Amino acid sequence: MNNSTPSTGVYANGNDNKKFKGDRPPCSPSRVLHLRKIPCDVTEAEIISLGLPFGKVTNLLMLKGKSQAFLEMASEEAAVTMVNYYTPVTAQLRSQPVYIQYSNHRELKTDNLPNQARTQAALQAVSAVQSGSLALSGAPSNEGTVLPGQSPVLRIIIENLFYPVTLEVLHQIFSKFGTVLKIITFTKNNQFQALLQYADPVNAHYAKMALDGQNIYNACCTLRIDFSKLTSLNVKYNNDKSRDFTRLDLPTGDGQPSLEPPMAAAFGAPGIISSPYAGAAGFAPAIGFPQAAGLSVPPVPGALGPLTITSSAVTGRMAIPGASGIPGNSVLLVTNLNPDLITPHGLFILFGVYGDVHRVKIMFNKKENALVQMADANQAQLAMNHLSGQRLYGKVLRATLSKHQAVQLPREGQEDQGLTKDFSNSPLHRFKKPGSKNFQNIFPPSATLHLSNIPPSVTVDDLKNLFIEAGCSVKAFKFFQKDRKMALIQLGSVEEAIQALIELHNHDLGENHHLRVSFSKSTI
């Protein structure tokens, strides 16, 4: 195997070698992951440490002569999270790139193999670390596991700010590492700074490791990242300076439109930028962003002459990989759907958990792809964060921002097979009412569903049978003690719960009651 091939874009799909043509396509997940190009002197603990942040590592097989390894995670969900994480950001061991893809093995059977004693010892040591009693030996110290009590809030300072950076840009970059809940931006000591809160300290830890010292645009806008002493942010207003992505009902606060060309004036350089989105030009394909090509930035006081950002710098050589589409866009491109089972109505119900869906278009010539138009950019981002990487009808759904600004309805007489639907006047929107309780009850997909609007005559068995008939395995069920109109039901997997929500939300239970189904943060 030739290890000296120059590192180029051919690795982007994880299949750089003829030998691996037979491996399954990257969209067919397994809890066993195949790692290639690992450095020859790497230890078991170092390889295990790659998987640790994503979940429990249950087995490892190293093929040192071939510079390869197989890593088995405790669950397929953990493996999917790990592959998603390392798609835009290449994994590294000892400063060398390592390539990760799903294996066609479903589990690793290593009991009868020689030299497994060291591996088992390493796995046992690591599980002790996870329970907090040991430090990882052999793992690079700066990439250690997350420390107990570490904050999910990062403090970000942007140096060399020759080009304004918007809250949208920060959100897009940092969302690559997990669900971003809140962002506050401000200017302090004449520096543009931000506080950014993740759902989990693990996400903050990995974002800091990957992004600290990176440039957002070529040779400028350098990220300096530390953990904040704060453990939670309190956001009062959703506008261009602050945003709470879990509370879409917050006021803008100052009567300003929510996307202003931010703080250009604070840097004594009025007019650096003309469009509220141009600061995000680096994230847009050239066609979606005509005004970004060849932006010429006037000299900033104290800077080294004028900085001209050419279209190749803006659209091609981004310092941060994996970002595309237009920030602030409310249209999502959803790919890798099951073309035999997906419908516009199904996408409307599922994406409607995270915002009001106005239109859905399943592509006429490529039915595994669809466009979903949300009410606004926040809702699109929320749906993308929560649904991308989830399994639906046997396939791992992918959601990204589309380059389209709106979903076009078919012209009269145009053949469409009912694949484009307008839901803007649907009575099923969850977020129509400003300040609705639904804004506080947005949770990631989970195997436990929250049911409400249940009429008094409907029994436990009625509801269990309803879900069993929909093809689910019911693991547990309980009515709320204080309010029998609500209940929790736990199903066999997250995928089952997603499919049950699509099928049974708004199901007619009789007595003029339609069942309401949401993901729950509780378990039974």
Beta-carbon contacts of residue 146 (< 8 Å; ≥ 6 apart): 53, 201, 202, 205
Fold assignment, 331-409+416-437: Alpha-Beta Plaits (3.30.70)
State mean pLDDT over 266-281. Answer: 27
Contact 13, 89 (CB under 8 A): no
Q: How far apart are CA 407 and CA 361, in angstroms?
A: 7
Strand partners for 80: none
- This model's pTM is above 0.85: no
Classify residue 346 by its DSSP letter: H
Structure confidence at residue 123 (pLDDT): 76
Percent of the chain with pLDDT strictly greater than 90: 38
Contact 311, 164 (CB under 8 A): no
Q: Is 481 exposed, middle or buried (0-12, 13-18, 19+ CB in 10 A)?
A: exposed
Closest by CA to 69, choosing from 29, 28, 103, 95, is 103
> What is the four-CA torsion angle of 212, 216, 220, 221, rounded to 10 degrees?
-70
Closest by CA to 245, choosing from 444, 428, 498, is 444
Fold assignment, 443-519: Alpha-Beta Plaits (3.30.70)
Contact 330, 380 (CB under 8 A): yes
First to last CA, the chain: 51
> pLDDT digits over 128-175, tens only?
544 433 333 333 333 445 566 688 999 999 988 877 788 988 988 898
Structure tokens at 342: 């997906």
Structure confidence at residue 12 (pLDDT): 32
Which strand (E) or helix (H) includes residue 360? strand 357-362
- Determine which of 322-336, 399-413, 414-428 has the lowest per-residue pLDDT on average: 322-336
Residue ranges of the chain assigned to CATH 3.30.70.330: 32-124, 153-244, 331-409+416-437, 443-519
Q: How far apart are CA 314 and CA 308, in angstroms?
A: 10
State mean pLDDT over 58-66. Answer: 88
- Which residue has better confidence, 11 or 169? 169
Closest by CA to 396, choosing from 321, 503, 498, is 498
Place of tokens 């708004």: 506
Structure tokens at 414: 């145009």
Q: Give the pLDDT band (50/70/90) at residue 252.
A: confident
Is the pLDDT at 421 greater than 60, yes or no? yes
- Determine which of 258-272, 385-399, 416-430 has the lowest per-residue pLDDT on average: 258-272
What is the spatial order of strands in the sheet that 91-93 belongs to?
Answer: 57-63, 68-73, 32-36, 96-102, 91-93
Is the pLDDT at 18 greater than 60, yes or no? no
234: left (phi over 0), alpha (psi -120 to 50) or beta: beta
- Which residue has better confidence, 303 or 488? 488
Structure confidence at residue 34 (pLDDT): 94
Domain 153-244 - what CATH class? Answer: alpha beta
Is the pLDDT at 420 greater than 70, yes or no? yes
Contact 291, 272 (CB under 8 A): no
State mean pLDDT over 417-427. Answer: 93
What is the spatial order of strands in the sheet that 153-159 belongs to?
Answer: 215-217, 220-227, 153-159, 191-198, 180-188, 242-244
> pLDDT digits over 508-521, tens only?
998 889 999 999 98
Contact 449, 519 (CB under 8 A): yes
Q: Give the pLDDT band (50/70/90) at residue 224.
A: very high
Beta-carbon contacts of residue 141 (< 8 Å; ≥ 6 apart): none
Place of tokens 């049978």: 465
Contact 262, 167 (CB under 8 A): yes
Is the pLDDT at 293 greater than 50, yes or no? no
Place of tokens 């061991």: 93
The correct CATH number of 32-124 out of 3.30.70.330, 3.40.630.30, 3.40.50.300, 3.40.50.1820 is 3.30.70.330
Q: How far apart are CA 166 and CA 173, in angstroms?
A: 11
Is the pLDDT at 196 greater than 90, yes or no? yes
- Determine which of 360-364, 410-414, 434-438 has the lowest per-residue pLDDT on average: 434-438
> pLDDT digits over 487-496, tens only?
999 999 999 9
Q: What is the mean pLDDT of the chain?
A: 76
Structure confidence at residue 445 (pLDDT): 92
Structure confidence at residue 223 (pLDDT): 92
> pLDDT digits over 27-60, tens only?
578 999 999 999 888 888 788 878 877 778 899 9
Q: Give the pLDDT band (50/70/90) at residue 115.
A: low
